[in-house]
């Protein structure tokens, strides 16, 4: 069911002439009878299944000499490394914020494309094409996100004679609308999520023109439907410029399974098995693995056949992912096609031994897919490390990375270094940790150990959250893992923050003593009077500790702690725990007086809209300001009854966590609860 469809914004097919190198051929070969599907033998259920979907020839292009990467961060670094291995020069593009970023320094050439906001830089089609022409790049790799699934960008590359390393623009356009993709899937005989009958709940509302959780709502009863539709439509219009919505039956307890497909220009379409992406937060994946646990060979083959059928219907070329919902009943339903390389592509690389970026480039050059179908080997699992606050509804975190020590012995895809600034403009993904093992249990164990050993400090991350999830994957169905996220790791020792503070105190005393130029021979703690040495005051997570030095021995066990410090902050870490410890002044500062309450920003971000004005009366729950950071919108609401005394920001301002946004004169006693914030949020 499509709701609020607008003919002016509905996705359309753009008819384009075939490229000079592609032409119909006469059926004179083995494939002259049409489509051919090869199924896996019973004794090798993980053998690749593939099909020939059309009768075409494609004259190979000359090998690319130089490729521009229209992206940033870890995917730009990932593409650069494959290009280097292939002997291909690379061109990076960058915003002012990324001037010194790793991908810029790794590339052979780099071109500035604009200021930090994505719409002025990484979404600026004209600037990116101008950079490609200026550097004489023969191809553009879009990565994922930004313009990767923008049909206009792909078409502009085609018009400019620059190879777009991805599907054709008409395929991207066709799949860019969920309602259109659903229709094409039905035409290909692929099962789709049933539409709800009248009065049936729960239902799922989705934005037809986009993804990433934007415009998505789950509605459990009729009274919630209309408000949810209005909220979803507004969010979709702001995010995608199209408020068209799709209404589907909500499948309780479903898993998210996707099939990786590749098509070349010689008539071959293959799949590279499945990935299970069911562990998510905010409708975004955070743990992915392959093979999907508990999937029978028959079910795997059925989903693969459906993915290939849709690929044939589209005449698909290059990399794509066909995504399905798998119901507890064993039925599966089509969701969408991602017409790009996926964030989680390393999982497939680890089990097949293939370089998927290399495959993309070779297909764009006109080369055929490998003749020998690969097989899976072992089990791979990936966890995404984000700069975010799980305890605060996963709000993004911004700061400078003070400690960055990825774990050895596993694959870590990242563009972060010690000293990297995490800003408000881009996705908060810090790194992907990918492990491979002979079996799933071993892979999960390796991933847990790798995350424990990953030191990322100076900002909030989801590291502890991931560590609370992964043990649940051993004992519970994968889609139930989020229900067990609060479970404490059974093998993690109970290390009290007070002990950590004492260990940091010892570090402070030793480093200050070593740096002392006057009387360095006097031992630590020596006093020439009878009074005891005053404790050092430290803060951990807002709690103050007055401590003396302690050796790193807890319950008779010596632990290996590492400590780094920057200013008044000390970053202590071991394989079991990481904490930021702040040194407090010996004597407390005099608190300032508060005559009014303020609504403060709970996160770093940009002011999208101001919803109140000076003198306006507000009541608890009234919206004040809308912020946006890293693709997320947050409405700041008041929690008190009063009058707006001052609006301290304007639209477009960048705000820091805790920054005052609106000042409100409470109608209560102004001296009561003087330290309270006037803020609540959605």
Concatenating the DSSP letter of every residue in 365-381 gives TTPPPPSSPPB--SEEE
Burial code (b: 16+ CB inside 10 Å, e: under 16) for 224-260 equals: ebeebbeebbebbbbbbebbbbbbbbbbeebbbbbbb
pLDDT digits (tens, 9 = 90+) for 343-361: 999 999 999 999 999 999 9
Percent over 70 (pLDDT), the chain:
83
pLDDT digits (tens, 9 = 90+) for 483-522: 444 444 445 555 789 999 999 999 998 998 888 777 777 7
- Average of pLDDT values for 210-217? 75
* pTM across the whole model: 0.81
Distance CA 91, CA 149 (A): 20
Element (H, E) at 280: strand 268-281
Distance CA 486, CA 478 (A): 15
**Contacts of 650 by beta carbon, 8 Å cutoff, 6+ apart:** 607, 610
Q: Which of 49, 173, 182, 340 is catalytic?
A: 340
Q: Is the pLDDT of residue 173 over 80?
A: yes
Question: In this predicted structure, what is the pLDDT of residue 596?
Answer: 61
In angstroms, the Cα distances linking 55 to 319, 372, 574 are: 19, 20, 59
Lowest mean pLDDT among 408-422, 445-459, 647-661: 647-661
Q: Is the pLDDT of residue 672 over 50?
A: no
Q: Hey, what are 355's tokens?
A: 């370089």
**Pick from 436, 168, 192, 433: which is nearest to 320 by CA?**
168
Q: Hey, what are 165's tokens?
A: 């390393």
**Average pLDDT, whole number, for the chain?**
84
Query: What pairs with residue 255 in β-bridges?
Result: 326
**Contacts of 124 by beta carbon, 8 Å cutoff, 6+ apart:** 113, 114
Q: Is the pLDDT of residue 636 over 60?
A: yes
**Pick from 515, 677, 519: which is nearest to 598 by CA?**
677
The dihedral formed by the CA atoms of 38, 43, 46 and 52, expressed in degrees to the nearest 10 = -10
Which residues of 377-482 form beta strands (DSSP E)?
Answer: 379-386, 388-389, 395-396, 399-400, 403-405, 411-414, 421-422, 429-437, 455-457
**Contacts of 79 by beta carbon, 8 Å cutoff, 6+ apart:** 67, 69, 71, 90, 141, 143, 357
DSSP helix/strand/coil, 207 = strand
Respond yes or no: is residue 119 known to be catalytic: no
Distance CA 57, CA 282 (A): 44
Q: Are 418 and 403 in contact (CB under 8 A)?
A: yes
Question: In this predicted structure, what is the pLDDT of residue 129?
Answer: 98
Question: In this predicted structure, what is the pLDDT of residue 71?
Answer: 98
Element (H, E) at 113: strand 109-114
In order of start, what are the domains of the chain with their CATH numbers? Answer: 194-249 (3.30.1490.20), 379-484 (3.30.470.20), 497-517+531-583 (no CATH), 597-681 (2.40.50.100)
């Amino acid at each position: 069911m499509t709701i609020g469809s607008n003919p002016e914004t509905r996705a359309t097919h753009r008819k384009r002439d075939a490229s000079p190198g592609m032409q119909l051929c006469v059926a004179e070969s083995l494939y002259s009878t049409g489509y051919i599907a090869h199924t896996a033998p019973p004794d090798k259920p993980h053998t690749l299944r593939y099909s020939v979907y059309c009768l075409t020839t494609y004259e190979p292009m000359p090998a690319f000499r130089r490729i521009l990467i229209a992206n940033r961060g870890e995917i730009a670094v990932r593409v650069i490394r494959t290009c280097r291995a292939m002997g291909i020069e690379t061109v990076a593009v960058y915003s002012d914020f990324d001037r010194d970023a790793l991908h810029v320094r790794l590339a052979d050439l780099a071109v500035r494309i604009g200021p930090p906001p994505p719409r002025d830089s990484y979404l600026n089609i004209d600037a990116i094409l101008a950079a490609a022409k200026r550097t004489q790049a023969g191809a553009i790799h879009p990565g994922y996100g930004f313009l990767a699934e923008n049909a206009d960008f792909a078409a502009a590359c085609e018009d400019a004679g620059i190879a777009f390393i991805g599907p054709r623009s008409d395929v991207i356009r066709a799949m860019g609308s969920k309602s259109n993709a659903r229709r094409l899937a039905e035409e290909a005989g692929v099962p789709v999520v049933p539409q709800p009958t009248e009065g049936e709940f729960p239902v799922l509302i989705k934005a037809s023109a986009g993804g990433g959780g934007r415009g998505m709502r789950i509605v459990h009863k009729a009274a919630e439907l209309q408000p949810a539709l209005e909220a979803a439509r507004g969010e979709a219009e702001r995010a995608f410029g199209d408020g068209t919505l799709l209404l589907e039956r909500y499948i309780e307890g479903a898993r998210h399974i996707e099939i990786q497909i590749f098509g070349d220009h010689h008539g071959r379409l293959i799949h590279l098995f499945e990935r299970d992406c069911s562990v998510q937060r905010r409708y975004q994946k955070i743990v992915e693995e392959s093979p999907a646990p508990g999937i029978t060979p028959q079910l795997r083959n059925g989903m693969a056949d459906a993915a290939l059928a849709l690929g044939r219907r589209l005449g698909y070329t290059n990399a794509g992912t066909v995504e399905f919902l798998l119901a507890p009943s064993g039925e599966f339903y089509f969701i969408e096609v991602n017409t790009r390389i996926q964030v989680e592509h390393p999982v497939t690389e680890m089990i097949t031994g293939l370089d998927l970026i290399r495959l993309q480039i070779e297909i764009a050059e006109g080369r055929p897919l490998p003749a020998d179908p690969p097989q899976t080997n072992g089990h791979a699992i990936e966890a995404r490390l984000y700069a975010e606050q799980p305890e605060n509804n996963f709000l993004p975190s911004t700061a400078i990375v003070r400690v960055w020590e990825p774990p050895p012995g596993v694959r870590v895809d990242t563009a972060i270094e010690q000293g990297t600034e995490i800003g408000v403009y881009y996705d908060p993904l810090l790194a992907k940790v990918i492990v491979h093992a002979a079996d799933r249990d071993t892979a999960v164990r390796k991933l847990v150990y790798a995350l424990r050993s990953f030191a990322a400090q100076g900002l909030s991350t989801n590291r502890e959250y991931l560590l609370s999830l992964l043990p649940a994957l051993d004992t519970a169905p994968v889609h139930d893992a989020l229900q067990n996220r609060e479970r404490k790791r059974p093998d993690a020792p109970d290390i009290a923050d007070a002990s950590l503070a004492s260990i940091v105190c010892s570090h402070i005393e030793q480093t200050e003593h070593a740096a002392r130029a006057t009387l360095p021979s006097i031992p630590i703690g020596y006093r020439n009077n009878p009074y005891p040495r005053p404790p050092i005051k430290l803060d951990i997570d807002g709690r103050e500790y007055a401590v003396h030095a302690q050796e790193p021995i807890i319950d008779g066990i010596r632990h290996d702690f590492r400590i780094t410090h920057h200013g008044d902050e000390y970053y202590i870490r071991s394989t079991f725990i990481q904490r930021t410890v702040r040194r407090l002044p010996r004597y407390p500062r005099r608190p300032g007086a508060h005559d009014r309450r303020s609504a403060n920003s709970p996160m770093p971000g940009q002011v999208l809209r101001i919803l109140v004005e000076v003198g306006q009366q507000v009541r608890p729950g009234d919206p004040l300001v809308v912020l946006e950071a890293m693709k997320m919108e947050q409405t700041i609401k008041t929690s008190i009854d009063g009058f707006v005394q001052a609006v301290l920001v304007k639209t477009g301002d960048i705000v820091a966590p805790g920054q005052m946004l609106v000042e409100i004169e409470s109608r209560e006693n102004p001296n009561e609860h003087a330290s309270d914030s006037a803020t609540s949020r959605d």
